């Protein structure tokens, strides 16, 4: 072992979930990476090593939230209803160590350039951040003039987003949707990225028909298409189960509680024989939560938080009786695999030291991002630049 490594930290005695259950282990961190995991590591013999006693706690991978409105969302009630940018502390206090930013309804007064700047700001403040190009509407607003160029040339861009089956979408044609997904696919291949297409799903009775049109009119694999908000209605959830049985991945939104909360959606999908590896959960955090009447008129609006994400994890264990090793997967390794993040979502030597420390009741106790403690006793001890 190289004892010259800087910033040695030994996390001692926690019950480790990698997310597989490893039992009581010590975990050694240096330079933002996990160096070793073993039943006992002599930290006192390592020069300058900080030893943190975690006996009685659970140590897991940090959560990966793949659907966050980093620069705000909303605007459905006019300029005053645009939600503000997210604060660093709100993310980490929810156990989030990696985040994927995107635009929403408003791709006019909000821009991919601003989103890129925010992802870089969050990286500087201490967590890992990526983004999707595009917004609800097609043609997609981009940084370089095309979706494929964004993925190839901009390090932080790993895919594209649009809205379908929603009265706020641009009612894209099947051909335009297929072209979008194909550009993301090729751009991802050339740029060494996931090349994913994320589809905001609304309440339209068209359900998942737009995604099947993409599959019909292109050669993009189903594994590169991600419909989200699939727990917003019973008909959409039922259609999602069919999409998963066809080989697709599903994303449930923890900020949606009715008619199906995210934990219940995961439990029901698994009961319907959908492989757990095809399921992910994201928050839709910092986005607006508009309420529309039957005629599409806005009747109310709020802002989505982030506490729903660790809450959904708790509910999977406490209400639906999932083992923690399984419950963690839609929040960690499954997301990392879909996004193509090779060193994220698991606790292994050589992986990023993004760590979540939970109490036995599964409350967030500490968060370590890139090997640095950013949350202690459930509160952020590192703040964003302007907090």
Q: Is 321 annotated as a binding residue?
A: no
Q: Is 206 annotated as a binding residue?
A: no
Q: Is 110 annotated as a binding residue?
A: no
Q: Is 74 annotated as a binding residue?
A: yes
Q: Residue written as tokens 């297409």?
A: 197
Q: Residue written as tokens 């980490």?
A: 92
Query: What token pair was written down for 288?
Result: 């607006």
Q: Tell me whether residue 284 is one of the annotated catalytic residues.
A: yes
- Burial label for 56, CB within 10 Å (0-12, 13-18, 19+), is exposed
Distance between CA atoms of 183 and 192, rounded to whole angstroms?
Answer: 14
Q: Is 373 annotated as a binding residue?
A: no
Q: Is 284 annotated as a binding residue?
A: yes
Catalytic residue from among 284, 307, 352, 354: 284
Q: Is 232 annotated as a binding residue?
A: yes
Q: Is 67 annotated as a binding residue?
A: yes
Q: Is 69 annotated as a binding residue?
A: yes
- Burial label for 214, CB within 10 Å (0-12, 13-18, 19+), is buried
CA torsion 268-281-336-152 (nearest 10°) is 120
Q: Which of 256, 254, 268, 273 is nearest to 335 (CA)?
A: 254
Q: Which of 94, 93, 69 is nearest to 83 (CA)?
A: 69
Distance between CA atoms of 250 and 248, rounded to whole angstroms?
Answer: 7
Q: Is 288 annotated as a binding residue?
A: yes
Distance between CA atoms of 232 and 121, rounded to whole angstroms?
Answer: 32
Q: Is 130 annotated as a binding residue?
A: no
Contacts of residue 86, Cβ cutoff 8 Å, sequence gap at least 6: 68, 69, 70, 71, 72, 118, 285, 286
Tally of CA atoms within 13 A in the half-sphere of 205 that contains its CB: 0
Distance between CA atoms of 271 and 247, rounded to whole angstroms?
Answer: 16
Q: Is 128 annotated as a binding residue?
A: no
Q: Is 75 annotated as a binding residue?
A: yes
19 - beta bridge partners? none
Q: Which of 254, 285, 292 is nearest to 76 (CA)?
A: 292
Q: Is 173 annotated as a binding residue?
A: no
Would you list which residues are annotated within the binding site for substrate? 74-76, 105, 136, 168, 232, 288
Residues involved in catalysis: 284
Would you list which residues are annotated within the binding site for Zn(2+)? 67, 69, 161, 200, 229, 284
Would you list which residues are annotated within the binding site? 67, 69, 74-76, 105, 136, 161, 168, 200, 229, 232, 284, 288
């Amino acid at each position: 072992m190289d004892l010259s490594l800087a910033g040695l930290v030994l996390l001692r005695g926690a019950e480790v979930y990698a997310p597989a259950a490893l039992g009581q282990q010590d975990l050694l961190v240096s330079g933002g990476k996990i160096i070793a995991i073993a039943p006992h590591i002599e930290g006192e013999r390592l020069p300058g090593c900080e030893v943190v006693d975690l006996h009685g706690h659970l140590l897991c991978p940090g959560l990966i939230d793949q659907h966050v409105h980093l620069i705000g969302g909303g605007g459905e009630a006019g300029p005053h209803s645009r939600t503000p940018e997210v604060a660093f502390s709100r993310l980490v206090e929810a156990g989030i160590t990696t985040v994927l930013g995107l635009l929403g309804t408003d791709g006019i007064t909000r821009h991919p350039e601003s989103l890129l700047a925010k992802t870089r700001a969050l990286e500087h403040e201490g967590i890992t951040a990526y983004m999707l190009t595009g917004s609800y509407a097609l043609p997609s607003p981009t940084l370089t003039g095309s979706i494929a160029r964004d993925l190839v040339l901009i390090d932080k861009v790993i895919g594209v987003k649009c809205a379908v089956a929603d009265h706020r979408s641009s009612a894209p044609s099947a051909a335009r949707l297929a072209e979008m997904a194909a550009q993301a696919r090729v751009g991802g291949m050339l740029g060494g990225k996931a090349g994913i297409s994320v589809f905001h799903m609304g309440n339209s009775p068209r359900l998942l028909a737009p995604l099947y049109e993409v599959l019909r009119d292109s050669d993009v694999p189903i594994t590169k298409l991600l419909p989200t908000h699939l727990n917003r209605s019973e008909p959409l959830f039922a259609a999602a189960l069919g999409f998963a049985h066809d080989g697709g991945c599903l994303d449930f939104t923890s900020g949606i509680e009715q008619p199906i909360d995210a934990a219940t959606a995961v439990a029901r999908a698994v009961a319907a024989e959908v492989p757990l590896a095809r399921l992910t959960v994201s928050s839709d955090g910092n986005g607006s939560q508009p309420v529309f009447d039957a005629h599409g008129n806005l009747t109310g609006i709020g802002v989505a938080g982030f506490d729903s994400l660790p809450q959904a994890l708790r509910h999977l264990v406490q209400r639906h009786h999932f083992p923690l090793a399984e419950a963690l997967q839609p929040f960690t390794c499954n997301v990392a695999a879909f996004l193509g993040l090779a060193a994220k979502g698991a606790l292994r030597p050589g992986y990023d030291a993004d760590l979540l420390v939970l109490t036995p009741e599964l409350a967030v106790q500490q968060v370590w991002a890139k090997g640095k403690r950013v949350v202690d006793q459930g509160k952020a001890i590192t703040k964003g630049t302007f907090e």
